[in-house]
Amino acid sequence: MKTKIITLLLVGVFATSCVQIKTDMDNNFDHTYAHVVYFWFKNPDSHADRTTFEKSLTKFLDNSQYAKTKFIGTPPKAIRDVVDDSFTYSLILSFESAEDQAAYQEEAPHKVFVEECEDLWEKVIVYDSQGIKQ
């Protein structure tokens, strides 16, 4: 009986924390301006290149004064034809304005990241979007 009660309590705590995490993420995403970047590496299987990239990108994002949402991802194996899983990394950022996104491009941490990592990728594609008012 004690085991069941403890298990139920742990499940309840876990479920509550998941809801809180989702809420926090929703509150951090600014729907004004989204910046989505896809990177294709020259050597996508290189552990050293991935480590260098992740360390530099994390350092940059930790020091960016403009980027709000900060998501770094890798592609899951595509199971549908419409899904492109050919990239090495993706980056999703949100900003309060187009001006903040422009300032982010010029801030020192961004320039250091590009300098440290530009030799790792062979292709970069950026998709920027402004939110629609509803």
Write the pLDDT tens digit of every residue in 110-122: 999 999 999 999 9
Q: How does pLDDT run across 17-75, given as a tens digit for each residue? A: 333 333 334 446 557 899 999 999 999 999 999 999 999 999 999 999 999 889 999 99
Regarding whether 110 and 77 lie in a shared domain, the answer is yes
Regarding whether 113 and 47 lie in a shared domain, the answer is yes
Neighbouring C-beta atoms of residue 88, cutoff 10 Å? 22
Q: Which amino acid is at 50?
A: R
Regarding whether 25 and 35 lie in a shared domain, the answer is no
Give residue for tokens 């876990």.
Answer: 14
Regarding whether 119 and 108 lie in a shared domain, the answer is yes
